[in-house]
Every structure is written in C-alpha cells, then in structure tokens.
Structure 1
Amino acid sequence: MGNSALLVMDVQREIVDLADDGSGYLPRLRRAIDGARAADIPVIYVVIALRPGRPDVSTRNKALTAVVRAGLHIEGEPGSEIHPDIAPLPDETVVTKRRGSAFSGSDLDLVLRARDIDNLVLTGIATSGVVLHTACHANDRDLGLTVLADACIDLDPEVHTLLTEKLFPQWAEVVAVEEWLKAVAPR
C-alpha cells in the first residue's frame, strides 16, 4: 500500500447541502477519517475555492461557469467551509484547489512529495467531479490509488455506480469504508 494518505475532497457545507442524499454519507466518511487517524495515515483535506470576482474562471469552462452562476465556492464565504461533521484537526493539511482535480491550481503535489506519499485513498463529493479528476491526475503521476466507493457521492447515482464499478477498478482498488478499515486497522 506504500505511504498512504486519505484525501477528503470538496466536503464543504454548500456541496454537502446539494449532494447529501440522507444515506449516512457523513457518518461513513467520519469513520474512514477516524480509522485513518488511528492507523497513522495522514488525512489531507481538499477544498475548492474561487477568488472573489472570479478572475480564475474562464467562460470556456462550462462546469465552473455553472458554479459561478449558482454563486458557489467563493473563497472565504461560510458555505465554502469544510463541513463541521468531518472537520480537520488543527495539525491536518487543507489544500485549496481552483479546478476539478485536487492537483489543479493547488500545492497538493508538493505536500505529497514532502511526506513521501505514493498512494492516495480517495473520498469526496462528487464522484464525477473531484474524485474522477483527481483519479485521472493521480493515475498519470503513477500514484497508487484506492477509492472508498461509499465515501464518495454524486448527484447522479447512476454515474456514481458506473464510475465505481466500471472505470475506477481499471486504475484503483475500489472498496467500501468498512473493508478498508479492516485492512488498515492497527494490529
């Protein structure tokens, strides 16, 4: 499994409000976070934040243009904060990104290299957004990948299923939180 880190991506108040389907997503994610901490696996939080006035958003970017129209992901706004149910500890790293992938417009690569991390465990909202984009980037960087399928959620359950059952297994180990916790639990 190499030197692993758990990435908790885009689990911000306004995103949770849009995506949480009442299936127990946040408590399940919390179990993964607590399990990583107990196993001394670093937990790295990734948030999307666009600058006020949006100088970093091109009109050619359909996804971000839609986000801008909805008034979401504005740096410093209360809705862009990490959801309090899974908040980071004071010594945990929070990386800010400006695009879909956790690597895009962020210093994530620097954080991983500084800690000699070569395997990522992906969680977050949305499966078809940050999880997919980050998996593509990580795969291209030859990083080991694990996707916690039930610690990812998407506005479209069919897309979530397609990605976690068909695409991600080509690049990553795809497991449920409980299965992963058994594998990383301190012995």
Structure 2
Amino acid sequence: MSASASAPASASAPRRVLLAMDFQHGIADRFAGTEVLDRAAEAVDAARAADIPVVWVRVAFRPGYPEVSPSSGFARLTGAGDAMTEQSAATAIHASFSPREDEPVVVKRRISAFTGSDLEVLLRGLQADSLVLAGISTSGVVLSTLRQAADLDFTLTVLADACADSDEEVHRVLTQKVFPRQAEVTTVQEWADGLGA
C-alpha cells in the first residue's frame, strides 16, 4: 500500500482555530474586573500549547469613517473623532494580551468578525473547519459571528467564561439557551482539559 493510500489517524481531527474577538481597549475597558480577560488569556495559552492557531479580531475604521453610512448603526462614531480608527489606542488589542507575530490580527468594520474583513479567506487558508469563539460582547461579536459561522458550516464551540456582556442576563440566555442550538458551549477549563484527551 502506498503512503498516500493510508491517511494518518489525525486526518479526520477537526482543524480548529481560536477566534479572540474584540479584546481591545475601547471595548474591554468598559467591563469591571479582569475575569473575562483572564479566562481569554487561558484559552489563548491552551490553544498555543495544542498548536491551535489563534486569530485576533478587532473592530476599527479608517480615519474619517468612510465605511460608515449615515444610516448605519455606527454613524454615531463619525462624531467621535479618531476614537475608533485603526491607529487609535481604543482599537488596539488589550494590554492583557501579546499576540505573537504568527497570529493574524483581522480588522473588521462591523459587528460580526466576518463582515468587512478577510477572515473567511484566512480561515480557508488555515483549512479550518471548527471555530472556538471568545469575545466581548456576547450579544455583539460573539452572537453575530456564531450565526454567520454556522451558516458557513463551521463546527462551533463557545467559551462562555471567555465571553462577557454588559447585561449578565443576556449573556446567560445566549450561552444557556441560544448558542447551544448551533454550538458546544463550555468553559475554558473544560475545553483546555479536552485538548489533551
């Protein structure tokens, strides 16, 4: 039997990517405490240890906000000066994290990590078929990305304690009632423990 005829046992293993979404100063700094940042850092460490690619996602705009139409929900940003532009401190990855040089940072222009970014192309390049989601906020980037990723046929995992929302009840309902319809919802510790299995 030729070497090409027998596939390695790991060939059917999911090709996972961890999406660390909107962990940037202008968003994370609005949340009290660092618990969600600590859990997200643990998820990143676990992914790196398991050779799972980490892709960072941040929301930012060009100076003058040319991507924002007057009818957009983001229109209020046009009066905020450079607060959410690509070079502003508010859109920088939070100081709690240190993305490695080999970890892509995707810039998006809307709520979903896919909208206005090259994320889908990047994931195809990584041959990903399974996404692990962590981000702020649960009702924003996590919900929007989960829905779009499900429509794109990715297998999904949500790390509930590496997500946060300004409304704790909304976070609870999404992670306990809504997300389980399309994703496995777990904790960072449970997910990390499963990587060694």
Q: Same fold (TM over 0.5)?
A: yes
For residues 66-114 of structure 1, what are the alpha-carbon distances to aligned partners after superposition, in whole Å with 9 as ceiling and x for unaligned?
Answer: 4445554211111210012122011111111101111101111111111
1:65 matched to 2:75 = yes
Q: More relative contact order in 1 or in 2 (CA 8 Å, sep 6+)?
A: 1
The aligned amino acid for 1:5 is V
| Unmatched runs of 5 consecutive residues or more in structure 2 | 1-12
SS at match of 1:85: coil
The aligned runs of 1:22-37 (5 Å cut-off) are: 22=33, 24-37=35-48
More helix by share: 1
**Superposed counterparts of 1:87-102, under 5 Å:** 87-102=98-113
Alpha-carbon deviations, 1:3-40, whole Å to 9, x = none? 0000000100111111x221511111111100000001
Amino acid at match of 2:27: I
2:80 and 2:52 map into 1 onto residues whose CA distance is: 36
In the other structure, the counterpart of 1:53 is: 64
Normalising by structure 2, report the TM-score. 0.89
Whole-angstrom distance in 2 between the partners of 1:30 and 1:48:
19
Letter in 1 for 2:167: D
CA deviation digits over 1:167-186, x for unaligned, max 9?
Answer: 1000000001111010113x
- Paired letter, 1:101: S
| Aligned partner of 1:4 among 16, 21, 43 | 16
Unaligned runs of 5+ in 1: none
Aligned-pair identity (%): 49
Mapped partners of 1:38, 1:121: distance in 2: 15
Match of 1:136 among 147, 150, 166: 147
Residues 112-151 of structure 1: pairs in structure 2 closer than 5 A: 112-151=123-162
- Cross-structure match for 1:16: 28
1:76 lines up with 2:117 in the alignment: no
Instruction: Report the number of matched residues.
Output: 184
Of structures 1 and 2, the larger Rg is shown by 2
One-letter amino acid matched to 1:21 = A
